[in-house]
Each structure stands twice: as structure tokens, then as C-alpha cells.
Amino acid sequence: MPTPRNLTDKDCIYISERRDREFTMPMHAHANWELTLIEGGKGMTRVIGDNVDTIPDTDLVLVTQCDLHHAWTKGNCTNPSVREVSIQFVPDLIPQASLHKRQFRTIARLFERAKRGVIFSESAKEQAVKEINDLLATDDKFKQLLRFMYILYTLSLDSGSRILSSDSFAEVKTKPESRRIELVDTYLRQNYMNVIRLSDLARLVGMTEVGFSRFFKRTMNITLSDYLIGLRVGHASRMLVDTDSTVSEIAYACGFNNLSNFNRLFRKNRGCSPHQFRKLYSKSRVLI
């Protein structure tokens, strides 16, 4: 396990760089926000909240929620020298009053999305690596801060960035722009463990079943069925981490009608079985 790295009360950002033959960053969370760059890590396993994935050669992730656990493990990586650059920063690096201003609008949106962990596109990663290397090349603490602020700004413009953890696992609620979708979303979150009928949802918003299905897909860019499955799997993931309930008990508690269907959909959405997911989190989780 790496040596715990923390910001002191004298700094607003903390930068560390290391190369390891047997690289691993076990499941952990910390009191500060963090941008993590991994280079030469192709084949490693990354866990952010309930997202489990195999990373490419270069990985860049921003996490802005203090209790969202995350990890990078060796997986199938064979590189003898994996590089990791970690930039921790205080949550009030940019005061809330400033985040509401026009100049910080895109950064504010990035911070909100990164509560669930955000991964960036190839072009954004390529640019960020150059900027991070420039940041590391200077010893001037103020210039480091300015460069980091610019890195955050350029990353906030990345249209190819992608959210990683489900909102139900990360316990982050994003308010839908549509009033009708908000009504349905609230109903689903309160009743995901029960049988959900399309007719009930359509009636809730005063639409026909066909019209509502089309409206939901057009507004949310996902089918109602897939959205509900994602919601249920997110809650199941949280229960796998936070409870001692059996996989079968969790499946039925989250609205799945049989265990085999739950296992299939969980693996499809998480890339591993419920047992494997629980094992990833069973190792010590620490607050760094």
C-alpha cells in the first residue's frame, strides 16, 4: 500500500509522482478531491464507486466526492514501471461564490459530474499529460496552482468526458431538467424494489404508454428499461459493499425477480459478478 499522502493546512494542492514495478492503489477515499493520472497502466483494473473497468495505457480520472472509494490494481498489466501522478486539492479551492460566476461555469459543472468520478477522452488526456508535466517541472507553488487551475479549465471543456459511478451507488442525485422526468425519477427511486408498470408511469405524467416511452428515451438518451436496471444495479452494488446480505437477498431486495437474471444483468453493467465486486471491496478500505 502506498504511503498516505495528505494536504497540510498550509497548502491548497498537493502533488505526488511515483513509479512502481508492482503498482497498486488499494481501495481508499480521502478528505480532499483528486485528479489521478496513470501512464503505462494498460491492463490494470480501475474501480471508481461501482464502476469496474480495465484501463488503457493512459488513464485520467477526477473524483470530487470525499467518500467515493476508488482503486487501481495490477490486473493484467505487465509493465514493470507504471507512472502515477496524483494531485489532491481542497474542496474549496474555488469558493462556491465564485463557482456561480460565468467564468467558472464549466468547471462548476465538471466538479458536479466528478462527484461520481469522471474519465476523460483521449485528446483531453494527451493535452493534460503535457500540462501536468509542465506543472511538475516548476517548483514555484503559486505557478503550480495557476497551472492546475488551467488544467481543470481545459478538462471542463472536454465534451468526450464520461461519468463512471452510478448515482444510486454514489448517492448523488442529479435533478432532471424535465418536470415530467423528475416525477418519474422520484417514483422509480422510491419504488425500484417493487414491480414497475409502464402504465403507472405513463399515467403519472398524463401520457400514453407509447408516447411516454418515446419521450423518456428522447429526453434521457436511454430506454426506461435500461434506466431502471441501472438504478437497481446501483443500489445492489451499494448493498454488496455496505451489508452482509447474501447475493440472493440483495437481488430480490433491489427488484430483480430471479437470481440468474440479476447475475447476468450485474455482470453486463459492471463487468464482473456480484461476488467478484464484493471481493474488490472486501479488502481494507481506508480514508487517506
Which of 4-13, 28-37, 157-166, 258-267 shows the lowest per-residue confidence on average (mean pLDDT)? 4-13
* pLDDT given for residue 287 in this prediction: 53
Q: Which residues are CB-contacts of 18 (< 8 A; sequence separation ≥ 6)?
A: 2, 83, 84
Residues of 18-42 as b/e, b for ≥16 C-beta within 10 angstroms?
Answer: eeeeebbbbbbbbebbbbbbbbbbb
pLDDT reported for residue 225: 95
Residue that has been written with the C-alpha cell 452494488 in this structure: 237
So what's the pLDDT on residue 6? 65
What is the C-alpha to C-alpha distance for residues 148 and 133, in angstroms, rounded to an integer?
Answer: 11
Does residue 4 carry a pLDDT above 70? no
* 44: DSSP letter: -
Whether the per-residue pLDDT at 54 is higher than 70: the answer is yes
pLDDT band at 272 (very low <50, low <70, confident <90, very high): very high
Strands lying side by side in the sheet with 58-63: 13-20, 82-89, 33-39, 58-63, 118-119, 162-163
CB 251 within 8 A of CB 262: yes
End-to-end CA distance of the chain: 11
Quick: pLDDT tens for 228-251: 999 999 999 999 999 999 999 999
Rounded to 10 deg, the angle between the 224-242 and 179-191 helix axes is 40
- CATH topology for 13-165 is Jelly Rolls (2.60.120)
CATH T-level assignment (fold) for domain 170-287:
Arc Repressor Mutant, subunit A (1.10.10)
Distance of CA 171 to the CA centre of its chain: 11
Span 22-50, mean pLDDT? 90
Average pLDDT over residues 120-143: 95
Give tens-digit pLDDT for 149-183: 999 999 999 999 999 999 989 888 777 778 899 99
| Domain ranges for the chain | 13-165, 170-287
**Is the distance from CB of 49 to CB of 106 less than 8 angstroms?**
no
- Asked if the model's pLDDT at residue 116 lies above 60, the reply is yes
Which pLDDT score, from 0 to 100, does residue 5 have?
A: 55
